[in-house]
Amino acid sequence: MNKLIIVEGLPCSGKSTTARFIAQQLDMTFIDEGTGDHPADYEFHAVLTDNRLENFTSDELEQIARHTVKKSGGNIVNLGAFSGELFNKLLQYKIYDFLPWETERPVMLDKWREFADKNDGSRYVFNCVLLQNPMCETMMRFGFDKLVSAGYIAEICEIIKPFSPLVVYLKNSEVYESVKKASVERGDEWLNAVIDYHCNGEYGKSIGLTGFDGYIYALEERQQRELEILSGLDISSIVLDDPQKDWDKTYSDILAELK
């Protein structure tokens, strides 16, 4: 029995809706991205190594200590508890977006181990985190090649093996159309932010990506890499082609596979 199902795919592919549907149908716990307290992910946290603490005043350190857990060779700080000048100082140590890879990687792997160590028989459905988050970091932000991404994701798969994990991948051949449609609902602020992230990270800069078309190019390349990586992982998976064309059939196919 799969105690962990992870729904993956590109932005605007229907991941969260599909993950929620699976959880409801199989009476599993649904964990969406951005929930603020993810059991296997740090969504809005910073890491301060002990030597970095020297950059803060004694008053700031007192505030930080109230929202900090010491682990993974550093101090994990919940950024959601702060605002103003102190928030801005802490933000430069945010796990995603600012930490160097040699600091981020062990912190994230320890978080996965912490989740696996608490395996109490509960069953979860996650929205992304196995492919999307690692690919956004290793590929988009740092510009690493596919082998580096695959190696890191394989490490995570080894950690969660006791959960008999299953990946449900929503493959989209209409990336341009899907993102264009979603951008109307999500607004210019969201669209500008994702374009900036994908075009101005190391991957985007290395091949000169710009604007909306550059963002789509990055997504299409990411999907190709993810599917290649997924095929080589020691993990069960289901790849669904263009589920957005017929969601009723997609959900029926998913349930047939899972039940």
Looking up residue 219, the CATH number of its domain turns out to be 3.40.50.300
59 and 179, same structural domain?
no
Average confidence (pLDDT) over 42-59: 92
Average confidence (pLDDT) over 218-224: 98
Helix-helix angle 15-26:247-258, to 10 degrees: 40
pTM (2 d.p.): 0.94
Neighbouring C-beta atoms of residue 7, cutoff 10 Å: 32
> What is the domain count for the chain?
2
Residue 245 has pLDDT above 90, yes or no: yes
Report the distance separating Cα 168 and Cα 8, nearest Å.
6
Report the distance separating Cα 232 and Cα 144, nearest Å.
18
Question: Percentages helix, strand, coil for the chain, rounded to the nearest 5?
Answer: 55, 15, 30
Q: What was the pLDDT predicted at 6?
A: 98
178 and 111, same structural domain?
yes
pLDDT category at 123 given cuts 50, 70, 90 is: very high
Average confidence (pLDDT) over 84-106: 94
Residue 197 has pLDDT above 90, yes or no: yes
**Among 58, 93, 128, residue at a domain's last position:** 93
Q: What was the pLDDT predicted at 74?
A: 85
Q: What was the pLDDT predicted at 190?
A: 95
8 and 76, same structural domain?
no
Average confidence (pLDDT) over 7-33: 95
Q: Residue 160 — φ and ψ, nearest 5°?
A: -95, 10
168 and 71, same structural domain?
no
Domain interval for residue 80: 45-93
Residue 239 has pLDDT above 90, yes or no: yes
15 and 107, same structural domain?
yes
